[in-house]
A and B are shown apart, each in its own frame.
Chain A
Amino acid sequence: MNQLDRRTFIKLLGAAGVVSTTSGLVFPSSAAAGTKARVVVVGGGFGGATCANYLRQYDSNLNVTLIEPNIQFVTCPFSNTVLAGMKSINFITHNYDGLRKNRGVNIMHDTVISIDATAKKIKLKSGKTLTYDRLVVSPGISFNWHEIEGASAENSKIMPHAWKAGAQTTLLQKQLEAMKDGGKVIIASPRKPFRAPPAPYERASLIAYYLKKTKPSSKILLIDSSGDSEELAMFRTGWEKLYKGMIEWVDGSEQGEIVSADAKALSLTGRTIGTLKGDVVNLIPPQHAGEIARVAGLADESGWCPVNPQNFASTLQKDIHVIGDACIADPMQKTGHSANTQGKICAAAIVIELSGGTMPDVTYNTSIYSLLNPKYALSSAGVYRLKNGKLKQVAGGLSAKKASRKTRLKEARFASGWYKGITMDTFGKI
């Protein structure tokens, strides 16, 4: 050891900043913040997975734990392509290996049952307790079953919502497959705000695509809580071209809202629209923030979670951030892309705050692609900036109202590229 003694070697190693993480992988220490803060992220969807991923990318010294009950995540984006038989459920199913192996995120498959914001502790279903310096809650949505008489989690096995992808997607797909030609499919969208506002239109489109090929005498009845809009008009133009006479649109806004459901009779009743019966009924119930957000006192009387959009910190509980569908980030729509954006901005804000810095002025991007068939898509985009503490839209809008089929095809191809991009970006695939 006369040429290079052990002590010198260790010093050099230290200067190179090599540290070992709990995942067992070796990551260089970050010059970013130099903290060893513990951040726990609850929920492994587009918001939570992205946030955990970027926390580690922005500061590899952070100890980041993602708590998610499921081993795999099934995405709502592109779940309508599964209903249409275009893609398999495997195509929209993702695991957490990328976050674990490529980003050094600790993954715990468990469920949070309570959050003590004062003691900064969370309790898990397994009996474990975790402490945190910062907590990010990204629980997605839960359903307000009680708002529709006769609707329940149990009855969703007969009238599936398929608004959380997975078993419900497969169930609705099987029902469509089993339906006789000439049957009627009812799709009922919920009172606003809800996850992925244009998605009921995409669903009607892709179910029509499937039925036109396999059961062309069948019909779709769309009870639309959003009422008439510029966006709807663009879909109706597409339906006229692609599925003439197949999709009947019913104004389900305000007085048209569904008030009761009968699972045995497969019927839905609205105040002004009367009772409508289908062969397959896709009842999408009204929504609120995922259960843990409400249990932890993060939601207000609206059922959603108020946040400071600069860092997505809860305005109700200290050192807790809420992102994704559960938070109130108006006018950003509740979409996978919005959740991904919020996950990144929240991660950046946490790292910057922990190192004593100030969050810069940045753009908040979102988009949602809707397929009308595999070669025809429309999109809605939005860019927002903070002005006086609130998000204001500064750019964005819908696809061109009048465009050639070539443009719609280009958007369909971009929709596929977007899906690949966002799932790689979110789940740490490289």
Chain B
Amino acid sequence: MKRNIFIKWNASIYFLTICTAVFLLSINAVMAAAPNKIKIMADACLTCHGPNGAGSGKIPELKGLEKSDITESLFGFKSGDEKSTIMGRYAKALNDDEINLLAEYFSALDK
């Protein structure tokens, strides 16, 4: 009987440890992600927009916005239709594919 309790207890500990390991693996997406074109370009935005694109002071957040809202803004900044202080000067450097992929990247981040 004693032995059975020990086995159950031991198995639970191992189970919990594996859950922790799986949890740690899941945050790996944030902790370490191989750099590719869009990851590198999105990380450039964080200098002003803050860690994870969460916004910084009066600089707005990017993460979790609707993809269409981000593309609308970036295309608007690029064409000059949407007024801005600095984003118009940045957005002109981006091509259409980059705008779409950046919008997809930030919209996929948790709110």
Contacting chain A: which of B53-61, B67-75, B103-111?
B53-61
Given contacts A395-B93, A414-B85, A417-B58, contact A32 B33 (CB under 8 A): yes
Asked if A109 is at the interface (CB within 8 A of a chain B CB), the reply is no
The bracket for how many chain B residues form the interface is 35 or more
Given contacts A16-B24, A425-B46, contact A32 B58 (CB under 8 A): no
Asked if B64 is at the interface (CB within 8 A of a chain A CB), the reply is no
Among B14, B15, B36, the most chain A Cβ lie within 10 Å of the Cβ of B14
Interface residues of A in 389-426 (CB under 8 A from B): 394-397, 399-400, 407, 410-411, 413-414, 416-418, 420-422, 424-425
Number of A interface residues in the complex (CB < 8 A): 66
Q: Are B48 and A362 in contact (CB under 8 A)?
A: no
Q: Are B89 and A414 in contact (CB under 8 A)?
A: no
Residue interface mask B33-62, A partner, CB < 8 A = 1: 111110111011011111110011111000
Given contacts A12-B18, A365-B90, contact A60 B44 (CB under 8 A): no
Give min CB distance, B62 to chain A, whole Å.
Answer: 11
Asked if A3 is at the interface (CB within 8 A of a chain B CB), the reply is yes
Asked if A430 is at the interface (CB within 8 A of a chain B CB), the reply is yes
Partner of B40, one of A3, A345, A367: A345
Asked if B1 is at the interface (CB within 8 A of a chain A CB), the reply is no
Give min CB distance, A102 to chain B, whole Å.
Answer: 9
Main secondary structure of the interface of B (DSSP, over half): helix
Main secondary structure of the interface of A (DSSP, over half): mixed
Chain A residue at minimal CB-CB distance from B60: A417
Given contacts A417-B48, A420-B50, contact A381 B90 (CB under 8 A): yes
Q: Are B44 and A28 in contact (CB under 8 A)?
A: no
- Docked pose: A242 CA to B15 CA in angstroms: 67
- Docked pose: A363 CA to B101 CA in angstroms: 14
Give min CB distance, A41 to chain B, whole Å.
Answer: 17
Give min CB distance, B43 to chain A, whole Å.
Answer: 5
- Docked pose: A302 CA to B48 CA in angstroms: 32
Chain B residue at minimal CB-CB distance from A385: B93
Interface residues of A in 298-315 (CB under 8 A from B): none
Residue interface mask A317-347, B partner, CB < 8 A = 1: 0000000000000000000010011001101
Give min CB distance, A352 to chain B, whole Å.
Answer: 6
Q: Are B24 and A58 in contact (CB under 8 A)?
A: no
A-B CB contact pairs (8 Å), 8 listed:
A12-B21, A18-B21, A28-B25, A28-B32, A348-B35, A381-B90, A421-B49, A429-B51
**Interface residues in chain B, defined as those with a beta carbon under 8 Å from any beta carbon in chain A:** 7, 10-11, 14-15, 17-18, 21-22, 24-25, 27-28, 31-37, 39-41, 43-44, 46-52, 55-59, 85-86, 89-94, 98
